[in-house]
Amino acid sequence: MRAVVYHGANNVTVENVEDPRIEDPNDVILKITSTAICGSDLHMYEGRTKAQPGMVFGHENMGIVTEVGPGVARVRKGDRVSIPFNVACGFCKNCFAGNTGFCLTVNPNFAGGAYGYAAMGPYRGGQAEYLRVPFADFNCLALPPGDELEDDFAMLADIFPTGYHGTALADVRPGESVAVMGGGPVGLMAAYSAMLIGAAKVFVVDRVPGRLRLAESIGAIPIDFSKGDPVMQILDQTNGDGTDKGVDAVGYQAHGTGGEEQPALVLNSLVEIVRATGRIGVVGLYLPSDPGAPDEHSRHGELLFKAGKFFEKGQRMGTGQANVKAYNQQLRDLIIAGRAKPGFVVSKRLSLEEAPDAYARFDRREDGYSKVVLKPAA
Ligand SMILES: NC(=O)c1ccc[n+]([C@@H]2O[C@H](COP(=O)([O-])OP(=O)(O)OC[C@H]3O[C@@H](n4cnc5c(N)ncnc54)[C@H](O)[C@@H]3O)[C@@H](O)[C@H]2O)c1
Ligand SMILES: [Zn+2]
Ligand SMILES: [Zn+2]
């Protein structure tokens, strides 16, 4: 089959790899209909993770089941399913508690597995024609048959639940104000989720014009950080009080106004923006090691975080990979009911063969490349 293969910094190609096969009785094989490129892939693409050459990327997968292992009870051949980016077993302590992003069974390196992601276990990604899904009864989310709402459902594998998770970590309540740092697909989904929950005022901070326009189109207040300190801009628009809650949808590759990387910038901005006793949800990625970091400390994931201010303000922070399964059924049902349309972020639908060009353009945050969905089956 054809697949997107990583070869080193800024180098992915589409090539022939071995077809996946049933390796365990609980596996299914999926024919991929939609697989999205994520900001998380860009950290690997830029050589800023431990990703090894030869890896197949792709953790935002959906498709049609083509083969079913003998131990699978519920999923059937022909089912249309969305696959959470987390690989999870369903029976460990963390899975039982709903924390499927921290499964203790699937990854020898640390708690939590994913498809096609550096250090997150031996699972090949789905930017390919076919994908093997382990523990299929637990991991497959059933979708209505056919091909309706494909863009919306394609957002269920990662960014819609992840954006929602950001608001859940920050405990966003109706009527509150929320600052979302980052207007990439994840930030837009966090802002959209905050709206669904009933937040009164949602700010989205970024500098890419098309992304700020999208934020405005869903009713958020765009803040362009290239036009001045976003902390001051948001304090000005909240009577100097700051917001009730904040979401980090940027992570360690945060840029300062001058374009230089400052790994702790967004965390520290949120400590300033969010009011005393407010909460901060961090879904933007931070890593324990970063080979391309700007200084020695951040190469080991040690950042200059304003712990003193954070303590003084009595803030709370939640972090980590999103537990997609904690939200994907409910968010799917909101889509089916016509109450949520997360597919508004999708800006391009391309063939698998177009992936290398799409990676380069998305990496430059070119307008029109906010969320690219690849269509291997088309
Ligand atoms: N926790 C999870 O489960 C999870 C899941 C998916 C993605 N992520 C992470 O979420 C982050 C965002 O992903 P994305 O797909 O939206 O990608 P993205 O990289 O396109 O979005 C990041 C955005 O942040 C903006 N930005 C950069 N510096 C900024 C600053 N100082 N202030 C405000 N905005 C700034 C960029 O212009 C960009 O638009 C990534 O770190 C990704 O790895 C986490
Ligand atoms: Zn993703
Ligand atoms: Zn588990």
pLDDT, tens digit (0-9, with 9 covering 90-100), for 337-347: 999 999 999 99
Q: Which residues pair with 142 in a beta bridge?
A: 81
Angstrom distances, CA of residue 23 to CA of 57, 99, 128, 238, 261: 20, 25, 18, 55, 42
275 lies in the same domain as 208: yes
Ligand 1: which of 48, 57, 60, 186 to mutate, judged by most atoms within 8 Å of the beta carbon?
186
Closest ligand by atom to 323 CA: 1
Which CATH number is 47's domain given?
Answer: 3.90.180.10
Nearest CA to ligand 1 atom 7: 40
Of the candidates 194, 208, 287, 290, the residue with the CA atom closest to the CA atom of residue 243 = 194
> What was the pLDDT predicted at 291?
86
SS3 80: strand
- How remote is the CA of residue 321 from the centroid of ligand 3, in Å? 14
316-319 sheet: strands from edge to edge: 221-224, 201-206, 177-181, 243-248, 274-282, 316-319
Residues 178 and 204 in one domain: yes
Q: What does the pLDDT look like over 47-66, one tens digit per residue?
A: 999 999 999 999 999 999 99
Q: Is the CB of 265 under 6 A from ligand 1?
A: yes
Indicate the residue among 319, 345, 361 that finishes a domain: 319
Of the residues 277, 292, 319, the one at which a domain ends: 319
| Whether 7 and 153 share a structural domain | yes
Cα torsion at 269, 272, 274, 278 (round to 10°)? 120
Residues 239 and 135 both lie in one domain? no
Domain of residue 369, residue span? 2-158+323-374
Q: Are residues 32 and 130 in the same domain?
A: yes
Residue 98 confidence (pLDDT): 97
With cut-offs at 50, 70 and 90, classify the pLDDT of residue 294.
confident
211 and 346 part of one domain: no
- Condensed to tens digits (0 to 9), the pLDDT of residues 98-134 reads 999 999 999 999 999 999 999 999 999 999 999 999 9
Atom of ligand 1 nearest to the CA of 282: 1
Please tell me the distance between residue 23's alpha carbon and the centre of ligand 3 in angstroms.
Answer: 18
- Percentage of the chain with pLDDT > 90? 96
Asked if residue 348 has pLDDT above 90, the reply is yes
Structure confidence by residue, pLDDT tens digits, 145-193: 999 999 999 999 999 999 999 999 999 999 999 999 999 999 999 999 9
pLDDT-based confidence at 378, cuts 50/70/90? confident
Q: How confident is the model at residue 17 (pLDDT cuts 50, 70, 90)?
A: very high
CA of 321 to the centre of ligand 1 (A): 13
Q: Return the closest-CA partner of residue 127 out of 258, 208, 38, 195.
A: 38
pLDDT digits (tens, 9 = 90+) for 296-326: 999 999 999 999 999 999 999 999 999 999 9
Q: From the CA of 40, which ligand is nearest?
A: 1
46 and 131 housed in the same domain: yes
Dist. CA 120 → ligand 3 center (Å): 13
Position 259 confidence tier, pLDDT thresholds 50, 70, 90:
confident
Of 335, 306, 355, 318, nearest to 150 by C-alpha is 335
Q: For residue 268, report the distance from its CA to the centre of ligand 2, in Å.
A: 24
Cα–Cα distance measured from residue 350 to residue 277, given in angstroms and rounded to the nearest whole number? 45
Say whether both 222 and 344 belong to one domain.
no
**What is the average pLDDT score of the chain?**
97
Distance between CA atoms of residues 265 and 306, nearest Å:
10
User: Do 25 and 146 reside in the same domain of the chain?
Assistant: yes
Among protein residues, the one with the nearest Cα to ligand 1's atom 15 is 39
Position in ligand 1 atom list of the atom nearest CA 285: 41
- Integer Cα distance of 347 and 370 in angstroms: 6
Q: Tell me, what's the pLDDT at 292?
A: 87
Which residue(s) pair with 316 in the sheet? 279
Following CA atoms 68, 72, 75, 80 in sequence, which dihedral angle do they give, to the nearest 10 degrees? -40
- Rounded Cα gap, residues 193 and 176, in angstroms: 13
How high is the pLDDT of residue 257? Answer: 86
Total structural domains in the chain?
A: 2
Mean pLDDT within 348-365: 97
Six token digits for residue 336: 């089916």
What CA–CA distance (Å, rounded) separates 53 from 261? 25
Q: What is the pLDDT of residues 181-233, one digit of tens each?
A: 999 999 999 999 999 999 999 999 999 999 999 999 999 999 999 999 999 99
Structure tokens at 127: 């930017």
Q: How many residues are present in the chain?
A: 378
* Residues, CB within 5 angstroms of ligand 2 (ion): 38, 40, 60, 158
CATH of residue 293: 3.40.50.720
CA 340 to CA 318: how far, in whole Å? 25
Give 250 Cα–ligand 1 centroid separation in angstroms: 3
Four-residue CA torsion sign, 360, 364, 367, 370: positive
Cβ of 134 closer than 6 Å to ligand 1, yes or no, is no
144 & 12 share domain = yes
Please report, in angstroms and rounded to a whole number, the separation of the first and last CA atoms in the chain: 14
Does residue 224 share a domain with residue 154? no
Tell the residue nearest (CA) to atom 11 of ligand 1. 284
The answer, yes or no, to whether residue 74 has pLDDT greater than 90, is yes
Residue that terminates a domain, selected from 319, 348, 365: 319
Residue percentage of the chain with pLDDT more than 70:
100
Encoded tokens for 150: 């494909």
In this structure, the answer to whether residues 147 and 164 fall within a common structural domain is no
